[in-house]
Structure formats: structure tokens, C-alpha cells
Amino acid sequence: MTRTATRLLASLALAACACGFVAGEPAEAQKRGKSKDVDAGMAGPVAGVGIESRDLLAMSDQMVRDIMATPVLAARKVAPRVIIDSRYFTNESSQRINANLITDRLRTSLNRASDGRLVFLARQNAAMIEEERALKREGVTDSGTAGLTQAQFGADYRLTGNIASQDARNGRTGQVQRFTQINFELVDLESGAIVWSNTYEVARAATDDVTYR
């Protein structure tokens, strides 16, 4: 075989390898980037020892049932005004968690379940409300279909909460165990009395934990 023919065969072989690599790359990239729908109420393929989506769903459902069964809240002739947000919700656990995931779902579920027996105040939107109130009183906008009030509504009760955890690790096996406790309290904003409280607990162990963000 001549030197020219040898070089030609080598060039063809390199070109074939390059084509094979380029052709195979999209398939491999597609495999790496393929997503999968999961049920938020079930354990997914990525799970650790902390609070998961299924815990948030179960916890909020349990709290809604419990609050709606409390006479001092749901059986009053005049619907009490309640603030449920994350302002007074603290996290002392070893897991990063967005407290709004808990309070937003609880507030929304309670608002639907209460059917007017509880009134929820959007205290987190106080600045927005005050801006619109000022526009109405200055005559920039009309008074609105609901009319005017002397001031924003005051609240009767506010939700507070805390997340705490206790971790343990086996140095020999690498297994991780975590106990997480989420405590809720509804506080009377006049007397300071706790009119309702409940605790949700999760205990899990796994060989490898995951990173929560």
C-alpha cells in the first residue's frame, strides 16, 4: 500500500470516529437531561431524610382539619380575622426550607375550607393596600365596589411556627438519621393566649442524604 493510500485510509477512519462521536452526543445529552414527572404526594426518585413535598401536603391537610374542628376559631358568630404568613415562622433545623411553602399552602387551604368562617388578612401586602387606599382618598380613583373603611382590618389571631431537628450519623456505615419537628401556634393578638397549637413530626433514616435548596 502506498503512503498516499495509507494517509487516505487514516483520514477516513478519523472522520468516521468524529461522525460517530457527534452523532452519539445528542442522544447521550438527551439521556442526561431527560426529566420525569413525579407525584408531589409520594416519595420521588430523589429523597433524603428531611422534609419532602409529601410531608408538606400531608401536614397542611392535617392542620386544616384540626383548625376547622376548633370551636374558638371556626364556631364564632363573627368570623375571626387571621394572619397566616412566614414572618414569625423560624427555622432552627439543619435543613434549608422555604417557610412560604408551608404558610402559603396552609392559608390557601384554610381559606377554601373555612367557607367564610375565618377571614384571612394579607398583611404581607400591607404596603400595596395602603397605596390603593391613598389613591381612593385623594380622588385619583373611585371608592371601589366594596366602599371605604377607616383603616385596614386588625387581626384577631396570627400563626407562629418553628422547625427544629436532631441529626445522627453512623460513622461506620455512613447512615444518616434525622428527627424533624414542626410546631404551629395561633396566638390571640390582644391577650397573647395560644388558642390552637399542633405539632407535625418526621423521622427518617437513609444511607445517603440529599442536598435541600
pLDDT for residue 25:
46
Q: Which residues make Cβ contacts (< 8 Å) with residue 44, sequence separation at least 6? A: 38, 52, 53
pLDDT for residue 32:
60
pLDDT for residue 74:
83
Q: Which residues of the chain have pLDDT under 50?
A: 8-9, 12, 16-25, 29-30, 39, 42, 46
Please tell me whether the overall predicted TM-score, pTM, comes out greater than 0.85 for this model.
no
pLDDT for residue 92:
95
CA distance 95 to 47: 13
pLDDT for residue 204:
86
pLDDT for residue 171:
82
What CATH code would you report for 48-143+157-206?
3.40.50
pLDDT for residue 145:
82
pLDDT for residue 75:
83
CA distance 145 to 143: 7
* Long-range CB contact pairs, 191-196, < 8 A, 24+: 195/70, 195/72, 195/73, 195/157, 196/66, 196/67, 196/70, 196/72, 196/73
pLDDT for residue 190:
96
pLDDT for residue 160:
97
Residue 184, number of CB atoms within 10 A of its CB: 22
Closest CA to 202 of 94, 69, 89: 94
Q: Where are the alpha helices (DSSP H) in 44-143?
A: 53-68, 71-74, 99-114, 126-137
